[in-house]
Structure 1
Amino acid sequence: MSDPVTEGIDAPKVTSWFSQHVPGVKPPLSFELIAGGHSNLTYRVQDQNEEAYVLRRPPLGHVLATAHDMAREHRIISAVGNTDVPVPPTLGVCEDLEVNAAPFYVMEYVEGDVLHSDVEAALTSHRERIDLSRQVVEVLAELHSVEPQDIGLGDLAKREDYLGRQLRRWSRQWEQSKTRELAVMEEVQELLERHKPSQIGSTIVHGDYRLGNMLTRSGRILAVLDWE
């Protein structure tokens, strides 16, 4: 039975990769799974000098062809790191399946708090909550002000007719998953198509922007996480 701490990691080969691609790392390395499930798996990696790193890889088992693209996620974080949006600095990406059974990328470890619930948020001071609330808005506005082509992401995705493509995607998903005919679904599709607003621009959208995907400390956002 595989060790649950290192499941999904070929420790010897990944350690060798670290030695070649991460400056200053001191083997041996330990790997601790800190986030998993249907999302990408996140490991805390620690070397002999107690320096910490973060490794991300796809979930175990079957993965959809267009989902959990490690190189894409690494590319986005690296590019956004050149803006004023706080993200963990990236250290490298590995797509060689001879190294690990799935691609992965590595980031610096950022020490901070993740506020997953109102209970955790309530442990901070009133002043910190006010400051953090303002920062949440400011960081999101900063992200939306970034021109994708200015940071090398101009070719990342189609930029025209986004809403039209979304409506067509939803329609296909319904057709592929429905178990019975529902006239109201066709009515909703037609209604959405008829009232679809014109596109006024395109920008980078996080997709799951919330405190649970941020590292914070003393009323400040240290890093926005989960760019899959």
Structure 2
Amino acid sequence: MSGASTSLPLDALGDYLRAQGLAGTGPLAATVLAGGQSNPTFRITTAEGRNYVLRKKPPGALIASAHAIDREYRVMRALQDTAVPVPRMLAYCDDAALLGTPFYVMEFLQGRVFMDQSLPGVEPAERTAIYREMNRVIAALHAVDYAAVGLADYGKPGNYVGRQVARWSRQCREATVPVTPAMERLMDWLPQHLPQDDETTLVHGDYRLDNLVFHPNEPRVIGVLDWELSTLGHPLADLAYQCMAWRIPPSLWRGIGGLDLAALGIPPESEYVGWYEQATGRQAAEHWDFYLAYNLFRMAAILHGIAQRAQDGNAAAADAVETGAKAGPLAELGWEAAQRYMAGRK
């Protein structure tokens, strides 16, 4: 994106990187990296040809719990030597005087990021392999001993979904952008139908295809990105977040709903969930539609927050208004899942 580097004071950043041993004496170049509605993200190139990624909080008044780049840095640093692939963390700076907001620097991963979950231009056999790899990595994440890697205090064990519903409901009700009737119904319904199958693991909170960096030539994840929403939580809720894609049509929001999955080489939702069950020993079926309803509500609430930031004038992405408008239709899908859950329990 032309002109993107002007939003960073490169001289001050250069001094900082040199002090960290990450750059020489020459000038820096910066470009905005595509993707992400939340924290502005830049590729930094030094005069010596070294490449880094810099991620910072956006400017302006922010919701206290949002844009948690300090948590992103902490969790990726903790996962460096686990089976979960993450980029190397290089520096964290909480001094807002330097770049206007706190930021961190990590290694730049040279690989592939697939924005479209139907994987256009990819052969069917590789699509299958990519989906298998996504499944392997989320199963590995949920197997991490979070206490052993220093994350015992990274969240509150237990009642994750209940706390999340309360958090996102409160955020929606505090916003000045109005919520839709389906959102209101979900905010009332979800707390009354929380499953009792509680379990706590490390969860990503935003695990989906376009937050993964794949090897340039192999169907292998080399880095999981965008850990802003990670915490200690329920693994099936984390899995169901990714599996919303099977319920959402591509015309609405990053979904594969309604596509000819067999022709594409993409597994049906039931097979994908089955892979996870085999890898982890967990059983997902009993409360699956509840977790889908919860996640569709949560995604709608996140997009509602983007709509609020767009109205307030401090959204990171140019398409924030359009993105925020998708909150209502996603909430409708969430209410449909809630009704399926109730019908299945009669």
Q: TM-score, normalised by structure 2?
A: 0.58
Report if aligned partners of 1:10, 1:101 keep a CA contact under 8 Å in 2: no
More strand, by proportion: 1
Report if aligned partners of 1:29, 1:48 keep a CA contact under 8 Å in 2: yes
1:39-58, aligned counterparts within 5 Å?
39-58=38-57
* Other structure's SS at 1:98 match: helix
Aligned equivalent of 1:8: 7
Question: How far 1:169 moved relative to its partner?
Answer: 2.8
Report if aligned partners of 2:40, 2:58 keep a CA contact under 8 Å in 1: yes
> Residues 98-144 of structure 1: CA distance to partner in whole angstroms, max 9, x if unpaired?
3221111011111011111156x232233322221111100000001
Where structure 2 has 5 or more consecutive residues not aligned to the other structure, the ranges are 229-346
Aligned equivalent of 2:133: 135
In 2 relative to 1, CA 22–176 (structure 1 residues): closer, same or farther, beyond 3 Å? same
Counterpart CA distance in 2 for 1:178 and 1:28 is 43
Give the residue type in structure 1 aligned to 2:140: E
1:34 has 2:33 as partner: yes
In 2 relative to 1, CA 138–100 (structure 1 residues): closer, same or farther, beyond 3 Å? same
> Residues 64-97 of structure 1: CA distance to partner in whole angstroms, max 9, x if unpaired?
2221122221111111222111111111111112
Report if aligned partners of 1:41, 1:57 keep a CA contact under 8 Å in 2: yes
Counterpart CA distance in 2 for 1:93 and 1:10 is 17
Aligned equivalent of 1:160: 158
> Residues 142-199 of structure 1: CA distance to partner in whole angstroms, max 9, x if unpaired?
001112211111111212322332333344345445999x999887656433432225
1:126 has 2:124 as partner: yes
Picking from 147, 153, 167, the partner of 1:149 is 147
In 2 relative to 1, CA 190–142 (structure 1 residues): closer, same or farther, beyond 3 Å? same
88-97 vs 191-200, greater mean Cα deviation: 191-200
Report if aligned partners of 2:14, 2:23 keep a CA contact under 8 Å in 1: no
RCO (CA 8 Å, sep 6+): is it higher in 1 or 2?
A: 1
Moved runs in structure 1, 4+ residues, more than 6 A? 182-187
More helix, by proportion: 2
In 2 relative to 1, CA 37–62 (structure 1 residues): closer, same or farther, beyond 3 Å? farther
Q: TM-score, normalised by structure 1?
A: 0.85
Aligned residues: 224
Aligned equivalent of 2:74: 75
135-144 vs 121-130, greater mean Cα deviation: 121-130
Where structure 1 has 5 or more consecutive residues not aligned to the other structure, the ranges are none
